[in-house]
Chains A and B, each alone.
Chain A
């Protein structure tokens, strides 16, 4: 039975067509995967099904009934629920309060036969009801725990509970595995299969083809707002899907030549580094690692284990409470970013729009940012526009940055091209050490290929790279050594050449603690 059917669904934002005549069919009780690159229009499609966006044209049928949603509430009433990639939870509330948000149970006073509603919320009864639901699905959570203290995997379960409590029949998961450990992903797949067994239909939005092959029943590929094709999962392959997504053959993995670096000198050394966050919690807790010349050290870990703070520490945005950082024998602990740049350390920040770029400024201004005092573009404190334009044009050409207007603002570029601006800027400074955080987050497969290749290229020139990423496959295909961060500490290290996903996965979950192999 067709539980969801769309006919000619179209969404335009101004002149831009995000979804073009989408005819999607989801059968009852199946797991339907929808794959496509970032910006292909997957999220737009789902937001229409969930009532967050209104279609420009086309019809949506749920169980054969033509529906029009004005808000997510309408969608939920028709049995469609969505678990967003970025969770929509309120951190300071408890699990039960989050689950019950919008459909709270009021306190009642019973006098004889009559019951009176009070204006206050019955928190006790709420947590009882939610706890019963948690136990039924064996989620292993405590309904009265505050959400901000939960792990990412647990938060996702809270989102699922929100939908289950509202009795939805169709659950849409938007990139659900992006922030989970391999083990959590396994557990999540189990949850998905359980939901399926209970008769729920599932739409899984992802760009990870491995997961599609493992868990889904059928696949729809979207490219540039259009459906490229539908496949039954067991009749297709990774390769075919990738070709459909990109429109050409892609290297799913870059060629990496491993070599022995143990004879090379140590150039960067972090000793016992610690710091606190805004809440005064020790988020980085005695971190030790070192980096040899020409080597790539990957720092893997589930997001929220101190990577962000470690990065802020190493790039001079956050002060340490103890410990030292040494670069080429010099103490550079707590130096400011500009000093670090003078020492020839370059950064690719985690959030390119928050720390890497100024979106309201032009491409040229962004290309010199951080290096704007250098003599090649600035004389006696005055910027030389001609030189800036020259540098900009050279980098745009060398790094194949696709811009519609080279005088335009950075905000007009796609994610991948914006990231290339940062990469070209940092590489062009010819650093000895590159600290790269999430270098391919939210960029399309084509750009990922390019970025990975460039990282390996600068390694070939003898530069060292510290790579912090939550994308395990990225670290595994690039790093010579992989250190795993857990609760602000490096809890283990494996060689990049013969690392197994499983081994790293256990470390990421804090299991199998081994002593850190520190040679210094």
Chain B
């Protein structure tokens, strides 16, 4: 029983960052851009927040600097992907490579193998005790003691749903994604909407990076994201950018990661193999979603509006 509770509790722990990246990235998806750079943006967030925390010992400054960097990255991506109309897949890829490279370079320059900030991460930063809610049998231990951003990520599902379907900005994002012509004809600035959609994504990725590097691990190495950004892209794609559906896939991927980690702790030697679970899960889910969609269509090898 404890083991199952542990798996479920860890599922929340792993879902948090995936969910943040998913909810952020789906704005760009809805605006008809795919932000491949989610992974890199998250990694940059984790990197800059640990680095600043390491030197300033202030989590607020660390968090704010992660956000500022996210905005800059979002603008950089948009400048090439939107203004200059470069291929946004390549632009996103460049950001991913840049994130790893800068991280490794900095570590080398500092002569360290990681940026350890365990001394600056207080108990309440790592996890929040929900008090009486934590006392509820079974559910209590599962949901208790997560970081603030993990809780926030679940609240954000509903916030993003509201923004996308009930506000002007959300409506415009969908309009731009669906029909640029319609947007242009009534004077909506397509570039502006895309910029904002991408920057929101970058900000939420920075949240995710901060969550992993500071709240969860209290240290930075260039592999802490472990493909979270790409998993988020898979979740967005499977849920077709609908916040609720995409979040469900994000949670599914979170659960499979938790399974992988917990099972490998028990099994030992072949544990390495089990770490493949989340990635195999993604391949299976993408294949199944693909086959189902393909089956529904009678068209032969081409798409017709």
A residues lining the B interface (CB < 8 Å): 52, 71-73, 76, 82, 84, 86, 88-93, 97-98, 101-102, 104, 106, 119-121, 162, 275-276, 278, 280, 308, 312, 316-321, 336
Contact = CB atoms under 8 A, between A and B. Distances in A.
A119 B188 CA distance: 18
Given A278-B296, A320-B298, A88 B179 contact: yes
Contact of B302 (A72, A276, A317): A317
Contacts of A276: 298
B302 A97 contact: no
Interface string B155-196: 000000010001110010011001101101111100000000
A90 B182 contact: yes
Contact of B300 (A84, A106, A319): A319
Contacts of B3: none
A89 B298 contact: no
B299 interface: yes
Across the A-B interface, give the 6 residue pairs with the lowest CB-CB distance, nearest first: A73-B187, A88-B185, A102-B186, A319-B298, A120-B166, A88-B182
Contacts of A162: 186
26 contacts: A52-B184, A71-B187, A72-B185, A72-B186, A88-B184, A89-B182, A90-B182, A91-B178, A92-B178, A93-B171, A93-B175, A101-B182, A101-B188, A102-B188, A104-B168, A120-B162, A120-B166, A120-B167, A121-B167, A121-B168, A162-B186, A278-B297, A308-B304, A312-B304, A319-B300, A320-B298
Majority-rule SS of A interface residues: loop
A93 B298 CA distance: 27
A275 B186 contact: no
B188 to A, nearest CB: 6
B92 to A, nearest CB: 26
B181 A88 contact: yes
Nearest to B189: A71
Contacts of A76: 186-187
A90 B166 contact: no
Q: Which of B167, B179, B181, B298 has the most chain A CB atoms inside 10 A of its CB?
A: B298
A312 B187 contact: no
A318 B179 contact: no
Given A72-B187, A92-B174, A97-B171, 7 more contacts: A71-B187, A72-B185, A90-B178, A101-B186, A120-B167, A318-B304, A320-B298
A275 B175 contact: no
A222 to B, nearest CB: 23
Contacts of A104: 168, 171
Contact of B179 (A90, A308, A312): A90
B83 to A, nearest CB: 17
Contacts of B168: 104, 106, 119, 121
A312 B186 contact: no
Q: Which of B162, B178, B187 has the most chain A CB atoms inside 10 A of its CB?
A: B187
A323 to B, nearest CB: 13
Contact of B186 (A73, A119, A280): A73
Q: Which of A89, A90, A91 has the most chain B CB atoms inside 10 A of its CB?
A: A90
Contacts of B187: 71-73, 76, 102
Contacts of B297: 278
A121 B182 contact: no
A481 B302 CA distance: 32
A280 B299 CA distance: 12
B288 to A, nearest CB: 19
Contacts of A321: 298
B197 to A, nearest CB: 16
A390 B171 CA distance: 56
Contacts of A88: 179, 181-182, 184-186
Given A73-B187, A119-B167, A318 B181 contact: no
A278 B296 CA distance: 7
A317 B299 contact: yes
A101 B168 CA distance: 9
Contacts of A316: 300
A82 B296 CA distance: 38
B298 A318 contact: yes
B299 A101 contact: no
